[in-house]
Amino acid sequence: MNILPDFRTLRPTSLAEAVSALATGGEILAGGTDLLPNLRRGLGRPETLVDLTAISNFGAISVGADGVLRLGAGLTLEVLAEDERVRASWPVIAQAAALVAGPSHRAAATLGGNLCQDTRCVFYNQSEWWRSGNGYCLKYEGDKCHVVVKSDRCYATYHGDIAPSLMVMGATAEIVGPKGVRSLPLSELFREDGAQHLALEQGDVLAAILVPPAQGWVAAYTKARIRDAIDFPLAGLAVALKRDGDAIAGLRIAITGTNSAPLMVATDALWGRPWTAETAEILVQAVRKTSNVLKTTLTGVKYRRRVLLALVRQQVDALWTGK
């Protein structure tokens, strides 16, 4: 039987109170769809959970006079996927939100929780008895990475759907912590380390995401998974494209499900060029170079790599032709 460990719960009514509570230890609880299953498996034993659901306007959506979209981190994915403003002007974000897990998960899961979700690995997301029988792992309670045995870092992978869509739209993260408020490009919220994959300090809370106006960018998110619902992406990517006649005026690619963080792919060399078979091959090789597909899921490495490379070509084709 999987039993939750003992902990106390604090329910602050402001971000300042939340920061103060977290500064001395503890973990954030919002929707709980990622945290609670992990705790039931013995992955973590926090003494305190800081419940953010009582903070006023923590899940608000607004569009400023400058056209910038502000998404509160406490926003549920269900609301995000159905918001008419998001669907009309930033459809890739609503699309990605709608592809997360199943309807009941999206009704509880939050934007902040989805972005900050734990990394996953076939050697980590297991029961306590299974992990103990394998000597645990470098990510938690052990000293050995079973994916890359001689590695000094964890290779658990990040499988969030929404981060790539926000990254290609130029999103910024607003973080509130003991040192005040700071902002950084969303891509800088993540680190390529499965055990330390977030650039957050003790007491920090991801408060909101700011997304600039689309300004001519068209974008889409796609992913491969075994089942059409519930499953995390085995490989996923977001593409944002600007077209100027027969030339690529702008191209942004972000991948997920293959590395320990969602990553942007270098595409500057393709700007100003037409979208041809040659250009597509250059892009495919750039994605191949950025991705680092390893044995972190039950699905084979070769399949995940091949499907990622196929998806990027297909998605740019679709945006280029408008189909």
Regarding whether 261 and 194 lie in a shared domain, the answer is no
| E strands in 101-258 | 172-177, 180-185, 205-211, 218-224, 235-244, 247-256
Regarding whether 196 and 307 lie in a shared domain, the answer is no
103-141 as b/e: b if 16+ CB within 10 A: eebbeebbbbbbbbbbbbbebbbbeeeebeeeebbbbbe
Would residue 124 count as lying in a domain? no
Position 323 confidence tier, pLDDT thresholds 50, 70, 90: confident
Cα 143 to chain centroid distance, Å, stands at 26
Would residue 101 count as lying in a domain? yes
Q: Which residues contact 106 (CB under 8 A, 6 or more apart)?
A: 76, 77, 78, 81, 97, 98, 100
- Decide: pTM greater than 0.85: yes
Would residue 39 count as lying in a domain? no
Regarding whether 302 and 245 lie in a shared domain, the answer is yes
Position 227 confidence tier, pLDDT thresholds 50, 70, 90: confident
pLDDT number for residue 216: 94
Regarding whether 181 and 246 lie in a shared domain, the answer is no
Report the alpha-carbon distance of residue 159 to residue 114 in Å, rounded.
9
pLDDT tens digits for range 104-145: 999 999 999 999 999 999 999 999 999 999 999 999 999 999
Regarding whether 72 and 167 lie in a shared domain, the answer is yes
What residue numbers bound the domain in which 86 lies? 61-116+157-211
How far CA 244 is from CA of 131, 240, 273, 279, 320, in Å, comes to 53, 14, 10, 16, 10
Position 258 confidence tier, pLDDT thresholds 50, 70, 90: very high
Would residue 140 count as lying in a domain? no
| Coil, strand or helix at 322 | coil
Regarding whether 310 and 230 lie in a shared domain, the answer is yes
pLDDT tens digits for range 26-79: 899 999 999 999 999 999 999 999 999 999 999 999 999 999 999 999 999 999
pLDDT tens digits for range 208-225: 999 999 999 999 999 999
Domain count, the chain: 2
Would residue 235 count as lying in a domain? yes
Cα 185 to chain centroid distance, Å, stands at 14
pLDDT number for residue 5: 85
Please report the DSSP string for 223-253 in residue order: EE-SSSSSPPPSEEEEEEEEEETTEEEEEEE
CATH number where 164 lies: 3.30.465.10
Give, for 304, the enclosing helix (H) or strand (E): helix 301-321
Which strand ranges, in their side-by-side order, compose the sheet holding 27-29? 8-10, 48-51, 27-29
DSSP 137: B
pLDDT tens digits for range 264-297: 999 999 999 999 999 999 999 999 999 999 999 9
